[in-house]
Amino acid sequence: GQQVMQIPQYQHVQEGEDFTTYCNSSTTLSNIQWYKQRPGGHPVFLIQLVKSGEVKKQKRLTFQFGEAKKNSSLHITATQTTDVGTYFCAGISGTASKLTFGTGTRLQVTL
């Protein structure tokens, strides 16, 4: 079945440093979504990418969808303590019709 892996599992940065998480799918994705989950909370939708090679920005966050539509990345510039949480990618592959989540990357930001 479809597997979606993310690296790293955990990253600890100083406030102001950059952060990147990578998402890799075992199968080609129809699109990719990114979610953020704060500690003790539920996942909240951030963005969706559909086109091969697509790049989208949200303030300090930059999202990319790979050319082969099997990988994606989320880059945060100049992290802040409010960025703390776990970031998940998610996608649907072919006719599977299941929204599969990646393993997640937990980000810790300290002053």
Site residues, other proteins (CB under 8 A) = 1, 6, 30-31, 33, 35, 42-45, 48, 88, 90-92, 97-104, 106
Beta carbon nearer to other proteins, 57 or 98 = 98
Q: How far is Cα 65 from Cα 96, in angstroms, rounded to an integer?
A: 20
85, two tokens: 């949480």
- Closest distance between other proteins and the C-beta of residue 103, in Å? 4
- Closest distance between other proteins and the C-beta of residue 64, in Å? 18
Q: How many CA atoms, within 13 angstroms, populate the side-chain half-sphere of residue 76?
A: 25
- Closest distance between other proteins and the C-beta of residue 25, in Å? 13
Q: Phi/psi class of residue 39: alpha, beta or left (left: φ > 0; alpha: ψ in -120 to 50)?
A: beta
